[in-house]
Amino acid sequence: MNSAFFEELKARGLVYQVTDEEALQKQLNESSVKLYIGFDPTADSLHIGHLLPILMLRRFQRNGHVPIALVGGGTGMIGDPSFKDAERSLNTLDTVKAWSESIIAQLARFIDFDDTHNPAILANNYDWLGKLSLIDFLRDVGKNFTINYMMSKESVKRRIETGISYTEFAYQLLQAYDFLKLYETHGCLLQLGGSDQWGNITSGIELLRREQEVQGFGLTMPLITKADGTKFGKTEGNAVWLDADKTSPYEFYQFWINTDDRDVVKFLKYFTFLSLEEITAIETEFQAAPEKRVAQKALAQAVTTLVHGQAAYEQAVKISQALFNGEIQSLSAAEIQQGFKDVPTYEVSATEDHKLVELLVAAKIEPSKRQAREDIQNGAIYVNGQRIQDLTAEITAAEKIEDRFTVIRRGKKKYFLLKH
């Protein structure tokens, strides 16, 4: 085992809390340790808020340990109250099963379940929670915890004032039971999670101690915060998903390339497998000339390639450069769809007047023909990146990219998409 591994995790800022650090380090140095992180299926895709824990499993696997990816097919039907202001809505079994399948497919892109030396393990807690009777649960799990102990957890204390249902109150016991079952079936000794999971993790360690007289370990990662105070993992108010159909590779790349200067080195340590020496070199170059954005480019390249592959990264760069340089005509229809996914769109009918002035008004790009003519004359209208100042201009076949799209720009930044 790599004795410097744990020290590197700390140097990257990935260790927030740990139970019995000295004993855990000794365990990691001496043998291959089985560890797990749980992923509750609360949607049909994971998002970048899950990326740090996923990459932690990958880091451990690359250093000879055995990661267990636990899909919460059972706990996902309950809802974790940790640091949530309100009760989660409950989903049906069929919905949770479908979401679980999607999440399993995504996890397999990051963690190697076929490795010949230390293959990762996939588990779903519905396999045991779905069979557990209430009486067995109360006798075998509930008897180990006092109400005082459960109420002392920060995740519960935060909700006592506003109200917490027994369903969510019992969540920490279900998660503790997961740890016990993974120890019994796989010999799992370490649970990882975000800092909001500390209370649930320590409950699992307590259950292991009481039921099996075994020392389990817990390690949490820091809550990711952005220097500007906005929530990490959101752009334009929407979640950044790992599913390319929900967040396109171009949008994903843009999220990372727009990282605040104050956050970018921290994110390079969190989200990439670049060595600390490589990151230090990037940081030095970045500090000498921040306007060149070498750190953001390195971050966007590493994470986009990791999540979506080299081809998708190259396509995202191509779209970005084409939009920056106004070279819209160099893009394919598929690239236009990615680059202009969220801009106002107008569907042009086959019988519609294709004169530019008429279309600007019909598509609500301009409020009136008078304003449309004025903007055209003043050079404020661009068709596929080309300035048009001819009042008689029409949208012909030449302006239709693959006979499907025309991109209109008004002023410096306002884009519109015409679909043919």
Is 117 designated active site? no
Burial 161-199 (b: 16+ CB within 10 A, else e): eeebeeebbbbbbbbbbbbbbbbeeeebbbbbbbebbbb
Dihedrals phi, psi of 109, to nearest 5 degrees: -75, -20
Residue 71 near residue 123, CB atoms below 8 Å: yes
Q: What is the largest CA-CA distance in the chain?
A: 84
Is 234 designated active site? yes
Is 84 designated active site? yes
Which of 34, 47, 181, 354 is flagged as catalytic?
47
**Residue written as token pair 């974790």:** 80
Which of 17, 42, 215, 337 is flagged as catalytic?
42
Which of 59, 62, 88, 158 is flagged as catalytic?
88
Residue 365 DSSP label: S
What residues contact 40, with CB distance under 8 A and at least 6 apart? 72, 75, 76, 79, 80
Token output for 120: 């990762």
Dihedrals phi, psi of 364, to nearest 5 degrees: 65, 25
The CA distance from 57 to 77, in Å, is: 24
Which of 34, 50, 308, 420 is flagged as catalytic?
50
Is 247 designated active site? no
Which of 17, 167, 235, 371 is flagged as catalytic?
235
Q: Write the CA distances from 2 to 59, 62, 189, 275, 314, integer angstroms.
A: 12, 10, 18, 15, 34
| Chain-centre distance for alpha carbon 281 | 27
Is 396 designated active site? no
What one-character-per-residue DSSP string does 306-322 give? HHH-HHHHHHHHHHHHH
Beta pairing class for 34-39 and 66-71: parallel
Is 175 designated active site? yes
Is 88 designated active site? yes
Which of 175, 254, 259, 272 is flagged as catalytic?
175
Is 42 designated active site? yes
Which of 84, 210, 297, 373 is flagged as catalytic?
84
Which of 158, 234, 269, 318 is flagged as catalytic?
234
Q: Which of 364, 334, 369 is nearest to 348 (CA)?
A: 364
Is 354 designated active site? no
What one-character-per-residue DSSP string does 105-133 give? HHHTTTS-SS-SSS--EEEETHHHHTT--
Which of 44, 196, 243, 353 is flagged as catalytic?
196
| Chain-centre distance for alpha carbon 403 | 35
Is 315 designated active site? no
The CA distance from 73 to 301, in Å, is: 33
Q: Which helix (H) or strand (E) holds 168?
A: helix 166-169
**Active-site amino acid positions:** 42, 47, 50, 84, 88, 175, 196, 231, 234-235
